[in-house]
Structures are given as structure tokens and as C-alpha cells.
Amino acid sequence: MVAYNFNPRFADDVQNLIKRQTIRANGKRRHARPGDELQLYTGQRRPECRLLLRTTCAASIPIVIYPNAILADQTYSTAQDLDMFANLDGFTDWPDMLCFFEKSHELSGANPFNGTLIKW
């Protein structure tokens, strides 16, 4: 079982199966692999912790995010492709997603984001 915590901004979309993927930085712990049970939460380690969903990992894909492209299961580089990908991940559009990653992961042209795309 692998647990992931979600920002309250994404909680309803996760619970209602609108958001069916997450992007996570690589770190010390391994990420879910296909077939692993996922427990998806919001507010973990807080009194208002809430289980959003129990599901199974369908895919675990390396991902690199640049300011103008995403490399994952395919290359996303057109404005339409980037907006579509951002929507799948719970963002309004690519500029919204890009702003989030620039702030939370210091994404820049010289510093792309390397992580894992987990789908359920």
C-alpha cells in the first residue's frame, strides 16, 4: 500500500475520479508500481485528515517537466497538448500548472522537474 496526500485544491477532483493521476518528485521512498494499492488522502498528519479514495496503481512513468514541454509516456509540447495534460492533473490549464511547479519545485529552464507520474 502506498499513500499519497493531496492539496485541498485537488481533493474533490480526486474523490470524484476527475483527477486520475498525480506527479510526484523522486525521493528516498519508492513510488507506487502498477498493481500496488493506493490510499489517497487530504490533510494527512492533521486532525482533518480524510481518505479520498482507495484504488490500484495503473501506471508509474518517469516524467520530466520543462517550462515548454513535458516528457512522460509521450512528449507534450503544443499548447493544446500541454493544456490537456494540465487538465488531467487537476489544473485549469498549462500556465496554471507551470506556475504551481515553478513555485513548489523551482522549475526553470535550467532546472527541469524530474519525477514520477502515477496513474490510477
Beta carbons of 107 and 113 less than 8 angstroms apart = yes
Q: What is the pLDDT of residues 13-41, one digit of tens each?
A: 999 999 999 999 999 889 999 999 999 99
pTM of the model: 0.92
Residue 106 pLDDT exceeds 90: no
Report the alpha-carbon distance of residue 59 to residue 107 in Å, rounded: 24
DSSP 78: S
Residue 8 pLDDT exceeds 90: yes
**Domains of the chain listed by start with CATH number:** 2-119 (2.30.130)
Report the alpha-carbon distance of residue 76 to residue 104 in Å, rounded: 21
